[in-house]
Each structure stands twice: as C-alpha cells, then as structure tokens.
Amino acid sequence: MATLPGKLITELTSAFPSDRFLTDPVDCYSYAYDNSRKIYPPDAVVFPVTAEEVQHVVALCNCYRIPLIPRGRGTGTAGGSLPEIGGIALSMERMLNILSMDAANRVIVAEPGVLNQAVQDVAKLDGFFWPPDPSSAAFSTIGGNIATGAGGPHAVKYGTTRDHVLGLKAVTGKGDFITTGCYTTKGVVGYDLTRLLIGSEGTLAIITEATLKLTALPDKVAGITAHFRDLSSCTAAIVRIMALPQLPSALEFLDNGSLHLIRHRYPDMLPSDTHAMLMIEVESSGKDISDAISVILAACQNDGLIRASQTENTAMLWKARKALSPLLKEIAPKKINEDVVVPVSTLPQFLKGLSQLSAQYRLHNVNFGHAGNGNIHVNLLINPADADEVARAERCLDEIFDLVIQLRGTLSGEHGIGSEKRAFITKEIDQATLRLMRDIKYLFDPRNILNPGKLFPEI
Amino acid sequence: MATLPGKLITELTSAFPSDRFLTDPVDCYSYAYDNSRKIYPPDAVVFPVTAEEVQHVVALCNCYRIPLIPRGRGTGTAGGSLPEIGGIALSMERMLNILSMDAANRVIVAEPGVLNQAVQDVAKLDGFFWPPDPSSAAFSTIGGNIATGAGGPHAVKYGTTRDHVLGLKAVTGKGDFITTGCYTTKGVVGYDLTRLLIGSEGTLAIITEATLKLTALPDKVAGITAHFRDLSSCTAAIVRIMALPQLPSALEFLDNGSLHLIRHRYPDMLPSDTHAMLMIEVESSGKDISDAISVILAACQNDGLIRASQTENTAMLWKARKALSPLLKEIAPKKINEDVVVPVSTLPQFLKGLSQLSAQYRLHNVNFGHAGNGNIHVNLLINPADADEVARAERCLDEIFDLVIQLRGTLSGEHGIGSEKRAFITKEIDQATLRLMRDIKYLFDPRNILNPGKLFPEI
C-alpha cells in the first residue's frame, strides 16, 4: 500500500482548494469501489477542473512515483478504477463542461466528466445522439466510456465508442499534453493514437477533452418481442435475423434463468411457457419500417416459437431487460458477471456449452445480453461463503473462457479487463503481442504510475 | 543508397526461388515508383507468399539493417512505397488468398495482396460489400488500403478502412508475429493495435492477414446531379445537404476548373453555364428512396441552382468524376495533388480562400472531391521546368495547409503522409505527440528498417 509522502501532500494542498483534495479516510472511502464490488480505498482523492491541473497532478505523482487511478463515476464492472495498491484517485467528475455543440459538423466537444446522458440531452436538441449506450449511460462519464471502449444494446447497428470519437486531448503518464485525431470525419495524419487510448483503461494517459462524432436520431423506432419454447429455437432465430441484410438496432437475448428472475418480480409479464426470449428494436429513416418488422417477424418463425409481435411502446421493451441486473444482485450474494463475445453463428453451440458446464459444475447460471454482436453476459451466481462453490465457479469460468476462445470469440465485448479478467488475458493475446502492449504502456507511462497493475496479467 | 551485403543476397537466394527474389536493375525498376510519380529503384524485390517468408525477410533485413519497403500495387499518391534510400521492396502482390468467406458472421479473411475488387466480388455473392472504396479499388490491395487507411466517395456514409477491419496478423520490424483485434464485431481486450497499424504506412509492421467486416449491399441506389451557376451557391447546398438527418452515400463536388476539363473532353456532357456541380448518391434499404431524393433536391434549391435532377443510371454519374484525374495529368506536366479535409461548414470559406490564394500566386488550381466529408482534392497544375512557378506553388501550398489547420481541418483525409507531406506534418501534430509516435515506431521497429523516413518529418 502506497502512503503519500508529506511533501506531495503539501504540494497538493497548496495546488488545490480543500474541497478538491481529500485525504480523510472517510471521504476517500467513497472512491474505494466500483461496480466490481471490491473495495480498495485510495490514500487521497483529487478533483481537477482543468487540463493543467490534471497535468500538475500527473507530474507530481510521476515525481514521487505514486499510483494515480483515474476515475469517472465508478460504474465499471471490471475493477478498472480500483486503487488496488492505494495512491491517489483522480476523479474526473468535476470536469463537466460541454465545450461546444457544432450541429453543422455533427460534433460535440466535451470534458471527460460530462455524463453520457448529458451529451445525449444536448445532442437531441439538434436531432442527434451519440451512439455508445452502456446501461450505465445515465450515470457514467464520457471519459469512462472512452477509457473502457463502452458499448451497449445498439452496438449491433452503430458499433461501440471507438467508432464515435474523432479526437482526444490527454496527459500521458510522463506528464506530456498530447492531442490525437482531428475534428473532421476523415483524417489519416500520423498514427491512430485516438483508438490506442480508447479502451486503454486509464493506463496510458488521462483524457482531458473528447471530440465526439454525432449521429442523426432515427425517424422511427419499433420494438418486437419473440417468445420461444426452448433455447435452441431462440438461438436459431438469432442466427437467421443476423443473416438478414439489414441489421436490427438492438437484438437482446434472455435465457430461461433470466426470465425466471423477471417472473419472480413481475408475475404477469411473461407467458408461462416462454423459456427463451428476444427483444428486438428496428429503426428506419422513412416509410419502410413495416417492411423491416415483417422481415424480422418472419425470421423468428420456427417450431419453437410461441409468439413474435410488435410491441406498442419501445420504452416498455426495455423494462424487463433493465430489471435484470438489479434482480440478479438481489437473489445471489455474489455474481461472477462476464461479457464474453462469440461469433453470432456459434451462439447455439456456445449457449449449449454453457448449460453443460454449469450443470457439470453444479452452478446457477443466468445468461442474457447483446446477441446481435454475440456478446453474452454470463452470470454465475455463487455464495462466497461456500468455498467449494467458489472453487467450482473458478474452474467453470476457466472452461467458459476456453470455449469462447475455441469458438474464435473474445473475453470482453464492452467491460474491459481491469483487474477482474487480467488473469485470463493470455488465453486470448499471445506473448509477443502482449509484450508490445506492455512496451507501449511504458512508453506513455515510464514509471508505471497510471492505474498500475490494470489490464495486464501480473508479471 | 543502401547496397545489399553479399551474405544477405546469398541468404535470400537460398530462401526464395529466382522468380520471387529479383536483383536485376531492369526488374527492380518496375518497383521504383508509385502514383506520386517519383522514382527510386530498390536494390532488390522479394515476393513472399507466406507469413513465415515475410518474417524471414524482416529478420534478415533487421540483422543486416537494410531498409525494407512494403508495397501493395503501388497505387498510393503520397510516395509511401518509394524505396527512397534503396533497400528491398517487399511486394505483397503474390499473397493472394482469400482465406475464408463467412457470410453468417459477415467476415472475410484475406491475405494482404488480395485486390480490393476481389474482396468485393466474393462478398457480393452473399449480398455484402467491403465499404472502403478508393478510386484505385480495381487495382489496389487490401494490405495497401489498410496501410494507408484508404477511403473514397462512400466514406461520407460508411467511414474509412479503420471502421471495417476487425483484426490483423502482422510481423513487426523486430520480426515478431503479432495478432491484433478479434473475429467478432465487439472486443475490448488489450490496446487497439489494429487501428494503430491502420494508416501506419508500413512503418510499424508488415500485415500478413486481415479480418474484414462486411456490410450488406443496399437495396436501392439513386443518383442526383446538381448544377450551379457559381461556387458559393454550390457550397451553400453542400452545407445544407450535410445538415439533413440522413447522410447521402456519396456527395462529390466539382469546381469550375474540373468542369472545364471535362467539357474539353466531353463537349456535350455539361450545360455551358454550370460553374460548380454536385454528384450525389443516396441509398435505401426499402421503399423510401423517393423521400430521400426529394429531401436532397430541396436542399439543393437556391438562387444559384441551374438544375438538380435524378440521373437515370448511377454508373453514368461517375463517368465524369472518374475522368478527372487522367484529364488533369494530360493537361499539366505536373500536378501537386492534395487531399486536405476541412469541417463541412467551413467549405465555403475554404474554397473561397483557395481561389484567392491561387489568384495571388498566379497558379492554375482545380478542386474536386468528397465534399460530404469536407475532403477536397486540391490540384495545383504546374510546369516543373518553370522554376518561378514551382517556387510560387510551394509557397501557395504552404498557405493552403495553414488555412486548412486554421479551419480545424487535417492535411490528409485518405492519401496519408508518405514522403510527399512529411515536411508539413508538424503544422498539424505537436512535438510531444509526434515524439510519442516516433517512440512507438522504434518500439515496433528498433533498427528503423520498415519504410524508413516515411510519415515522419526528417529529424
């Protein structure tokens, strides 16, 4: 555990007013955790409001070699913002300015602490939105979205954060100001450092400004729900829908375990014989949304379909889906929540494999997620007090990851590696490539002060 | 100029059959130039057919510290594949296999020498295409498209190469095999080395395999031409079109100089009073293409419009546009061809500034290009034998770049830096960011053998 040198504390005290430099352990405790539910209190919390202040803190931490853990609003699930070895939590939550909204060029420039929702609200006034839509959008920051490469249900049509950022300003671990990318929708001058920073989980540089590319809101949105008697007919429908020329704007899957949880809370919401379900959204820019709906309804037709129909209100469509995460937390003291991705055509095989593995290891397993991208949230519900169950879950998880890799998938679609998945990263990334990534890390941050220990497996 | 050590020649002779290792200066001369029209013969040309052969050549060049210049089909315009200081040209043109076409997952895996057009042909059989569409698509390679971050007219709707590559295999300048990205449409494991390599112009690693993301072909495509009496009414229409919610799939601009060239060759093609013109393409997945057309026709309406109308045949739409580059080469012994980008809303100001600068420096200036992205091909037509004109062109170009940067634009939208623009890169990229890029270069390629001297300004 790092303890802060007295001289560093003196320098920070003189540089920041008392409400923007906290050292009282009670205050610091609020910055000890994220949605991974682990707890590591920082030794101090600093709240910069300008890029120069960010640079000053980085330079000081670099000088004294103190860990600096950047943080948005702590909604990440992979433990990326945990101060595992102490140090200073750099909370970006007060860099809250939207610096410009340029409707003619479809660009918004924002500081990292601006909430995703705040960007949506401003963009909407001009008929635009910013496509990255993590389920935390109302509370998570642009900086955090960029650091993790966030995605959400609409990634199936729009892609993820890396597809919607034009440029960044940032401070490297060395304390250098850098400017990446450009303000225009095209640009190939120099290496693409923008996307190198996107998804780098605060290990390379602290983002101080982001230039975001906006997209026009669709004219029409329609929702479809499809209920299936069994898993295999549901996954067959997913594969057929994703083979259609036009992509849905969302294609969410809920397995029997998920439906069971929802039924428990909302007894009348679902037919009793539904054992797997799809929630589908389609968008259109014109008159043809009825065509898109018919084509998708047709793709859902198979022996296991109970019914597929257009929903009246797309807001309602998301009610059951959004209820899931909180419900999971209520019923299980602990869940291991993964966000693996497999090629869509292998989803039937993957979900069948998951059933077999959870049966084999006698674990309660609930799966749902962004089926259109093959991105499934795999939840193993365990009681941490049951050592045998914990051990079985670890072995099961290891086999799940092996299955994912064998199917040409990836260990994380949107949550990132953080601290939660670093033990597994070598299953996916070979040693030479990983070495190169680590060398890049040391180029940006030679004294390893920025979020040390995250993203890479322990050496 | 590098000359090859005898031992290196012996090793390459034993590793490659005689038709895949050329040292005769007459043979090498074919690999001395690209579309920048400069000529620097390599000392040898090697044609690998496997990743292992690529790795072997890299390892040898690294050992003997000999420049290795990767090359697709030499269609680049920025001089990126010129062997400026000699060395070995690594022609990827015989790595021609499409390794898999996976329609269910919308993925094609190809070797770097596969032509863009060959990918389109295979993808089309399943109703897909690969969106990057440089005008060289029929002759340029996937590897070259990736190395330069190629784009084309359809980038306004679909983005450029970086938006359509899921993963890469490559050999670094150190001789390490690396694997970047993934096979799925989502993935955030580790740093985004895929996009670091895209647009790196062969300076970091040699691409040996690319996993490309395919897109469904549109159901319907329609073309519109709009003729304007003057430049300012045309640019006003561009700004209005790009403020519409739905993006056109192409929005190409031709100025008076461009039209003059076309008229010279095709006297009956254009109305005599057209002084600026737009070629617009719209796509639709359903019934609503007539709506899209009406909305765009309405956005073209202003005092300077002569006529705007739907064209019968979209193939015809591109005839005049595609004739332009060859026509320019016919009338001027030399053209300085830039591909700058400015924010779309500043196009009126930029094109007006261009007119003023070319008048001030007494230069013949012809402009056309991808107006929807603000990406304008600025051509200064000069006689290289006229030393005064050459000097004026250099000063004019310098001021054009200053104007671009002042308007928050970028020096290159799709051609890259190569050797042609490296003197100007510091106008756009600050020293700290450039230093970081150079450090990354040395991390991948410590002995500076891969395309040495490209992309960076001379030290």
CA–CA separation, B68 and B56 (whole Å): 12
CB proximity B3 to A under 8 Å: no
Q: Is residue B201 domain-shared with residue B242, that is, in the same domain?
A: no
Q: How many CB atoms lie within 10 A of CB A447?
A: 15
Question: What ipTM did this prediction achieve?
Answer: 0.96
pLDDT at B325: 75
The reply to whether B33 and B84 lie within a common domain is yes
Q: Among B189, B219, B249, which would you mutate to test the A interface (most chain A Cβ atoms within 10 Å of its Cβ)?
A: B189
Q: Do A247 and B415 touch (CB under 8 A)?
A: no
Distance, in Å, from the CA atom of A449 to the CA atom of A452, rounded to the nearest integer, reads 6
* Domain boundary, last residue among A289, A322, A355: A322
Q: Nearest 5 degrees, angle CA B381-CA B386-CA B388?
A: 95
| Domains: count for chain A | 4
Nearest-Cα distance to chain B for A439, in Å, is 7
B282 contacts in chain A (CB < 8 Å): none
Tokens of B273: 């009073």
Residue B57 resides in a domain: yes
The nearest CA of chain B is from the CA of A386 a distance in Å of 31
- CA nearest to A176 within chain B: B432
A431 touches chain B (CB under 8 A): no
**Which residues of A260-413 form beta strands (DSSP E)?**
276-284, 305-311, 334-341, 364-370, 375-382
Candidates A190, A288, A412; nearest CB to B425: A190
Please report residues of A whose CB lies closer than 8 A to that of B405: none
Could you tell me if B246 and B266 lie in one domain? yes
| DSSP-derived pairing of the beta strands A21-22 and A220-228 | unpaired
Q: Which residues of A touch B199 (CB under 8 A)?
A: 188, 191-192
Asked if A394 is an interface residue toward chain B (Cβ–Cβ < 8 A), one would say no
Q: B370 to chain A: which residues are within 8 Å by CB?
A: 186
* CB–CB contact B184 A284 (8 Å): no
Q: Measured between CB atoms, does A425 come within 8 Å of chain B?
A: yes
Q: Over the Cα atoms of chain B, what is R_g? A: 23
Nearest to A182 among B243, B286, B410 (CB): B410
Q: What is the CATH number of the domain that holds A201?
A: 3.30.465.10
Residue B417, in any domain of the structure = no
Number of other residues whose CB lies within 10 A of the CB of residue A385: 9
Return the CATH number at A47. Answer: 3.30.43.10
Contacts of B440 in chain A (CB under 8 A): 191, 440, 443
The pLDDT of residue A24: 96
Residue A309 and residue A361 in one domain: no
Residues A208 and A224 in one domain: no
Q: Which residues in chain B have Cβ-Cβ distances shorter than 8 Å to A196?
A: 191-193, 195-196
Supply the pLDDT for residue A157.
95
Question: Burial level of B409, CB count in 10 A (0-12/13-18/19+)?
Answer: buried
Domain boundary among A271, A294, A322: A322
CA dist B455 and B457 (Å) reads 7
Instruction: Report yes or no on B449 lying in a domain.
Output: no
Which chain A residue shows the shortest CA-CA distance from B150?
A: A188
Instruction: Tell me, yes or no, whether B148 and B121 share the same domain.
Output: yes
User: A338 in a domain, yes or no?
Assistant: yes
B127 touches chain A (CB under 8 A): yes
Nearest residue to B244 (alpha-carbon basis) of B293, B288, B286: B293
Give residue B161's region: left, alpha or beta (phi > 0; psi -120 to 50): alpha
Domain contains B231: yes
Show the DSSP H helices in B50-139 as ranges.
51-64, 116-124
CB proximity B183 to A under 8 Å: yes
Nearest to B175 by CA among B212, B208, B142: B208
Chain A 25-84, CB below 8 Å of chain B: which residues? none
* One domain, residues A80 and A104: no
Report the CATH number that the domain containing residue A339 is assigned in CATH. Answer: 3.30.70.2740
CA distances from A337 to A370, A420, A428, B32, B447 (A): 14, 10, 18, 55, 44
pLDDT values of chain B reduced to their tens digit, one per residue, 459 residues: 458 999 999 999 999 999 999 999 999 999 999 998 899 999 999 999 999 999 999 999 999 999 999 999 999 999 999 999 999 999 999 999 999 999 999 999 999 999 999 999 999 999 999 999 998 999 999 999 999 999 999 999 999 999 999 999 999 999 999 999 999 999 999 999 999 999 999 999 999 999 999 999 998 899 999 999 999 999 999 999 998 888 999 999 999 999 988 888 778 778 889 999 999 999 876 667 888 899 999 999 999 999 999 987 777 667 777 777 777 777 777 888 889 999 999 999 999 999 999 999 999 999 999 999 999 999 999 999 999 999 999 999 999 999 999 999 999 999 999 999 999 999 999 999 999 999 999 999 999 999 999 999 875
B294 touches chain A (CB under 8 A): no
CATH of the domain at B248: 3.30.70.2190
- Contact assessment for residue B150 and residue B79, using Cβ atoms and an 8 Å cutoff: no
3-state helix, strand and coil shares in percent for chain B, rounded to the nearest 5: 40, 25, 40
Closest residue by Cα to residue A254 from A281, A273, A226: A226
Q: Which value, in Å, is the radius of gyration of the alpha carbons in chain A?
A: 23
Whether this prediction's pTM lies above 0.95 is answered by yes
Is any Cβ of chain A less than 8 angstroms from the Cβ of B406? Answer: no
Please report residues of B whose CB lies closer than 8 A to that of A285.
Answer: 245-246, 288, 292
Which residues of B are less than 8 Å from A160 in CB distance?
186, 188
Q: Are strands A44-46 and A205-213 parallel, antiparallel or unpaired?
A: unpaired
**Can you give the pLDDT at residue B280?**
95
Residue in chain B nearest A236 by alpha carbon: B104
**Same-domain check for residues A143 and A80:** no
A99 touching B (Cβ < 8 Å): no
B17 touches chain A (CB under 8 A): no
- For A195, the closest of B192, B200, B428 (CB atoms) is B192
Does residue A56 form part of some domain?
A: yes
Question: Are B194 and B142 in the same domain?
Answer: yes
The Cα–Cα gap between B159 and A164 comes to 11
CB pairs under 8 A between A and B: 281
Q: How many CB atoms lie within 10 A of CB B26?
A: 8
Chain B partners within 8 Å of A430 (Cβ): 177-179
CB neighbour class for B303 (10 Å; exposed up to 12, middle 13-18, buried from 19):
exposed
Which residue of chain A is at minimal alpha-carbon distance from B424? A189
Amino acid at position B272, single letter: S
Q: Which residue of A has its CA nearest to B204?
A: A191
A436 contact residues in B (CB cutoff 8 A) = 172, 176, 178, 193, 443-444
Contacts of A412 in chain B (CB under 8 A): 187-189
Give the pLDDT of residue A261.
85
Question: What is residue B308's DSSP assignment?
Answer: E
Query: Which residue in the set A180, A186, A342 is minimally distant from B433, CB to CB?
Result: A180
Cα B71-B75-B78 angle, rounded to 5 deg: 85
Rounded to a whole number of angstroms, the distance from the CA of A266 to the nearest CA of chain B is: 32
Partner-chain contact A425 B189, CB within 8 Å: yes
The answer to whether B341 contacts A216, with C-beta atoms less than 8 Å apart, is: no
Q: In B, which residues are within 8 Å of A221 by CB distance?
A: none
Q: Which domain holds residue A130?
A: 98-216
Using alpha carbons, list the distances in angstroms from residue A290 to A294, A330, B6, B279, B362.
6, 39, 71, 31, 58
Is residue B154 situated within a structural domain? Answer: yes
B216: closest CA of chain A, how far (Å): 5
Question: What letter does residue A18 receive in the DSSP assignment?
Answer: G
- How close A27 comes to chain B (CA, Å)? 32
User: Same domain for A162 and A85?
Assistant: no
- Would you tell me the crossing angle of helices B256-265 and B314-331 to the nearest 10 degrees? 90
Chain B: residue whose CA lies nearest to A247? B216
Please indicate, yes or no, if residue B440 is contained in any of the structural domains.
Answer: no
Block mean pLDDT (10 aa), chain A, length 459:
87 98 96 93 98 98 98 95 97 98 97 98 97 94 98 95 98 98 97 98 98 94 94 95 91 93 81 93 79 93 95 75 76 83 96 96 94 95 93 96 98 94 95 97 98 88
Instruction: Tell me which residue in A199, A287, A444 faces B192 most closely, judged by beta carbons.
Output: A199
**Scanning every residue of chain B, which has its alpha carbon at the shortest distance from the alpha carbon of A241?**
B104
Query: What pLDDT shows up at residue B2?
Result: 57
- The reply to whether A142 and A166 lie within a common domain is yes
* A84/A123 same-domain check: no
Last residue of a domain, one of B383, B406, B429: B406
Contact state of B429 with A189 under an 8 Å Cβ cutoff: yes
